[in-house]
A = this chain, B = another copy of it.
């Protein structure tokens, strides 16, 4: 994780040490929940190894996948984490997963002790926001097939690691329709 951070900010050895004191390493088994809808999201997690899915279940019982996270990504229900209010989303491990976690108080503390962390997260958030905006535009301007092709192109690694019905719910379509799109793509070749 430190290597990853150094791409965005330069850290002194003593800063690295402070960061380490404010984080904890945690292992989850496949299927375990890091965050559950209704609970407060206590940590922001950096994925060292594994794969997770953020999703929420609506009133009709339908699942909507908000995002996936693999190695070197951050995950949390950010809205819940920031305000320490009940989460709208679940975050579940799709594989055995190892994460580095920042608790809310530790992170606030860390911002005071290592101001560079403000910069680091500002940069990370800028990128996340731009990506989210792009995805939003695509959701409106592209057809389901177009969104699927874009997804395959952007995240080929994720496509291979997660079941198809989760990809469908990430793209905002039903698993049946995604299956039909895939079939159609094969026929086209």
Q: CA of A118 to CA of B123 in the docked complex: distance in angstroms? A: 9
- Are A133 and B78 CB-contacts (below 8 A) given A64-B140, A140-B139? yes
Which residues does chain B contribute within 8 Å of A78, judged by CB atoms?
126, 129-130, 133
Establish whether residues B134 and A172, one from each chain, have CB atoms under 8 Å apart when the complex forms.
no
Is the C-beta of A111 less than 8 angstroms from some C-beta in chain B? yes
Q: Which chain B residue has the least Cβ–Cβ distance from A122?
A: B122
Number of identical protomers: 2
Establish whether residues A132 and B132, one from each chain, have CB atoms under 8 Å apart when the complex forms.
yes
22 A-B contact pairs sorted by A residue (CB < 8 Å)? A56-B137, A67-B133, A78-B126, A78-B130, A78-B133, A79-B130, A79-B133, A79-B134, A82-B130, A111-B119, A115-B118, A118-B118, A121-B122, A122-B125, A125-B126, A129-B129, A129-B132, A132-B136, A135-B136, A136-B136, A140-B169, A140-B172
- 7 further interface pairs, Cβ-Cβ under 8 Å (given A79-B133, A132-B136): A78-B133, A129-B129, A129-B132, A132-B132, A136-B136, A139-B172, A140-B169
Residues of A in contact with B (beta carbons under 8 Å apart): 56, 58, 62, 64, 66-67, 78-79, 82, 111, 115, 118-119, 121-122, 125-126, 128-130, 132-137, 139-141, 169, 172
